[in-house]
Amino acid sequence: MDYKFFKRIFDICFSLIGFVITFPILLITAIAIKIESSGPIIFKQERIGLYGKVFRIYKFRSMSVGAEKGGVYETKGDSRVTKVGRIIRKTSIDELPQFINILRGEMSLIGPRPALTYHPWPYSEYTEEQKRMFYVRPGVTGWAQVNGRKDVEWPKRIELNIEYVDKISFYFDLMIFIKTIFKVIKMEGNLNVKETAKKNITG
């Protein structure tokens, strides 16, 4: 049977178990966000998903309300990031609400990280080759994330995403998952502090 079928079953099981195991963390984080600053606990943002379909990704809010107006890229010591936000970003706790996206069938645990609808560029501006990265469900983590994460420029990131689509397998996913754990422990590459959206590849 096709691996993608088992991948979906695994995603559902992992998310349900993940909710149970991390529930205390989810609760504490939600309370901390609410106490520190006004605004919603969950941040919702439109992203490009499977076959270019737009969906809303869920994250714990780590910035002040309306922070997106200040730009996509984060600067060192960015004042838009709350105190709680700095902690949950460093530890990737802000990504935990994406268990909901996985259960809804919008995301997978492993896959290309979902791009914004306008950044690095609109879906219509991706080449046909680049659009191949949307042939699988986007992931909470992926091949590009364990190869530099937010330090990788988008053209290279897209190439890595396409490579993932071509090589998708249980063993490849397992390797990415293990590498992600080490990345999270080391808290590496989780700040988007430089311009990474340069169109310098063809195909």
Tens digit of each residue's pLDDT (9 = 90 or more) over 16-68: 999 999 999 999 999 999 999 889 999 999 999 999 999 999 999 998 876 66
- Find all residues with CB under 8 Å of 180, minimum gap 6, and list them: 141, 145, 146
Please count the CA atoms within 13 angstroms of the CA of 166 that sit on its side-chain side: 10
Mean pLDDT is highest, among 66-75, 117-126, 145-154, for 117-126
Please answer whether residues 53 and 168 qualify as being in contact, where contact means their C-beta atoms are separated by less than 8 angstroms.
no
Residue 194 lies in a domain: no
**Alpha-carbon span 201 to 169, nearest angstrom:** 26
Residue 197 lies in a domain: no
Please give the tally of structural domains in the chain: 1
- Assess whether pLDDT exceeds 80 at residue 136: yes
Strands (E) located in the chain: 42-48, 54-60, 108-110, 139-141
Residue 193 lies in a domain: no
Please, which pLDDT band fits residue 201 given cuts at 50, 70 and 90?
very low
- Assess whether pLDDT exceeds 60 at residue 188: yes
Residue 199 lies in a domain: no
Residue 201 lies in a domain: no
Domain region containing 155: 3-186
| Digit-coded pLDDT (tens) for 71-118 | 556 556 677 889 999 999 999 999 999 999 999 999 999 999 999 999
Residue 174 lies in a domain: yes
- Assess whether pLDDT exceeds 60 at residue 198: no
Token representation of residue 77? 């010591």
Q: Give the pLDDT score at 10.
A: 96
Residue 198 lies in a domain: no
Identify the residue with better confidence: 160 or 191: 160
Please answer whether residues 159 and 132 qualify as being in contact, where contact means their C-beta atoms are separated by less than 8 angstroms.
no
- If one counts every other C-beta atom within 10 angstroms of the C-beta of residue 38, the result is 7
Residue 119 lies in a domain: yes
**Alpha-carbon span 120 to 198, nearest angstrom:** 8
- Looking at the chain, the whole-number percentage of residues with pLDDT higher than 70 is 86
